[in-house]
Structure formats: C-alpha cells, structure tokens
C-alpha cells in the first residue's frame, strides 16, 4: 500500500484490512489423516468419517451425515421419530413440573394443617372431629387465615367463623 492508501484506510498493510483466508484443495488431499484438520478435510472430500477420528465436532457431523445418507422414506421416518421423542420428552418434563408443583402444594397444605391443629390444641385443648375435617379440606390460604384468628378468638367456633 502506498502512503495515501495507508492514510485513507488508517491501516499499515493490506492484511490489516482484509482477513486472512486459506484455500484448501480438497481434491489434492492424499486421504491420510495426520491431525484433526486432516480429519475434517477427509470428511469434506469423502463424505465419510472414520471411527478413529477425534476432531472436535466430527462425531456430531457423523450422526448428521448418517441420517442424511438414508433413503428419503427412511430419513423422513427417522425425523418423525425424533420429533415424537422430542414431544414425549416435553410431555414428561411438563408433567414432571406439574407433579412437582402439586406435590409442593400438598406438602404446604399438610404442613399448615398440622401447625394449625397443634396451635388449636394448645389454645383450646382437644380438637373435635368436625374441626379436623374442615382443616383437612381447606386451602393453605384459609388455613393461614384461621391460624391468625387463634390469637383473638375465644372459641373454636370463632376461629372457623365465616364472619370476620
């Protein structure tokens, strides 16, 4: 580059402007893989990946190549199978998540019911069956509300009253 070009591009050389590229003549490759780059060149030339190749990414490329080399009907069947596996995995994960959430809800309800029962026993003595049944069927938010009423209530009826 002359001085005018260096000033114009604000670069000292052509290499600083353009990235470096290498041309690999795949047709001239002798099919001997000496290193991992040679393994990729072998793959590009022969559309084949030997089992002993270790270059990063070749295993995934081999899996893709194996699928692409299937006859069209088999490849489409395989792709449908993969989609079905994906759908099943999604279903399992969503079901697992829902089950986990339900388990937490049940655990929260049981824990709050147990605590409310213990507080009622401490404040009022033996908890009658009707109160235990109400507690067992109640949502956690209602159990919490009843738990707070214990401090001001004079009787079990006041704790469970619909009138606040």
Asked if 121 and 127 touch (Cβ cutoff 8 Å), the reply is yes
* Cα 152 to chain centroid, rounded: 48
Burial state string for 14-42 with b = 16 or more CB within 10 A and e = fewer than 16? eeeeeeeeeeeeeeeeeeebeeeebbbbb
Residues in the chain: 164
DSSP 162: S
Neighbours of 71 (CB within 10 A): 8
Q: Would you state the pLDDT for residue 133?
A: 93
Determine the Cα–Cα distance for residues 60 and 79; give it in Å rounded to an integer. Answer: 16
Determine the Cα–Cα distance for residues 144 and 149; give it in Å rounded to an integer. Answer: 9
Residue 37 lies in domain: 1-69
Q: Would you state the pLDDT for residue 15?
A: 77
Give first-to-last CA distance, the chain, whole Å.
89
In a domain, 97, yes or no: no
In a domain, 124, yes or no: no
In a domain, 108, yes or no: no
DSSP 127: P
Q: Would you state the pLDDT for residue 101?
A: 74
Q: Would you state the pLDDT for residue 36?
A: 93
Residues 6 or more apart whose Cβ sits within 8 Å of residue 98:
none
Please compute, for residue 112, the number of CA atoms within 13 A of its CA located in the half-sphere on the CB side.
21
In a domain, 83, yes or no: no
Q: Would you state the pLDDT for residue 54?
A: 92
In a domain, 27, yes or no: yes
The pLDDT profile of the chain, 164 residues, written as one tens digit per residue, is 889 888 888 888 887 887 777 788 888 899 999 999 999 999 989 888 888 999 999 988 888 888 888 899 988 988 888 888 888 878 777 777 777 777 777 888 888 889 899 999 999 999 999 999 999 998 888 888 898 888 888 999 999 888 75
* Cα 27 to chain centroid, rounded: 43
Determine the Cα–Cα distance for residues 124 and 83; give it in Å rounded to an integer. Answer: 60
Q: Provide the domain count of the chain.
A: 1
Q: Would you state the pLDDT for residue 42?
A: 93
């Amino acid at each position: 580059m002359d001085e005018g070009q260096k000033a114009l591009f604000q670069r000292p050389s052509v290499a600083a402007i353009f990235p470096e590229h290498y041309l690999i003549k795949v047709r001239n490759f002798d099919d001997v893989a000496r290193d991992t780059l040679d393994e990729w060149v072998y793959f590009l030339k022969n559309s084949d990946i030997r089992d002993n190749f270790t270059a990063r990414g070749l295993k995934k490329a081999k899996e893709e190549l194996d699928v692409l080399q299937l006859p069209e009907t088999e490849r489409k069947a395989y792709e449908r199978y993969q989609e079905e596996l994906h759908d099943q995995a999604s279903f399992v994960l969503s079901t697992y998540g829902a089950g986990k959430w339900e388990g937490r809800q049940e655990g929260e309800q049981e824990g709050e019911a147990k605590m409310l029962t213990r507080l009622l026993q401490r404040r009022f003595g033996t908890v009658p069956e009707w109160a235990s049944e109400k507690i067992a069927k109640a949502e956690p938010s209602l159990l919490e509300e009843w738990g707070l009423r214990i401090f001001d209530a004079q009787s079990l009826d006041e704790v469970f009253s619909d009138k606040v």
